[in-house]
Amino acid sequence: MYKPLPESVTVKRSGIHNLGLFADQDIKQATNLGITHIKIEDTIIRTPLGGFINHANEPNCAKVELMANGNQGETFKKKWNLVTIKDIKKGEELTLRYTFYNV
């Protein structure tokens, strides 16, 4: 069954901007939370996980680029996963330093 967000996070009202991602439980450093963005040719697509994370100058998460080669004849793709760079406490907002968008 498809789940747009990992079970450890939820979307709530953010003090940073509109809505944000928040920890539903304590999350350990170096936890891979899933795919935030996919690039196919020149188009970047945000997943629900990537669509709700807010920018911070001192973030607690990072985007990690992964290369994804498709089947023969398939377009070359890149993808980015959200990985925690600090331990995150239940109720804390997950943040990221934006690199695709201007803030």
Six-digit token string for 28 = 């350990």
Closest CA to 23 of 48, 77, 64, 60: 60
pLDDT in tens, 72-101: 556 668 899 999 999 999 999 999 987 765
Residue 7 pLDDT greater than 80, yes or no: yes
- pTM of the model as a whole: 0.83
Q: Which domains does the chain have, with CATH numbers?
A: 9-96 (2.170.270.10)
The pLDDT of residue 30 is: 97
The pLDDT of residue 77 is: 80
More confident residue, 103 or 30: 30
Kindly report the backbone phi and psi dihedral angles of residue 101, in degrees, each rounded to the nearest multiple of 5, phi listed first.
-130, 150
Residue 61 pLDDT greater than 90, yes or no: yes
* Spatial separation of the C-alpha atoms in residues 101 and 96, rounded to whole Å: 12
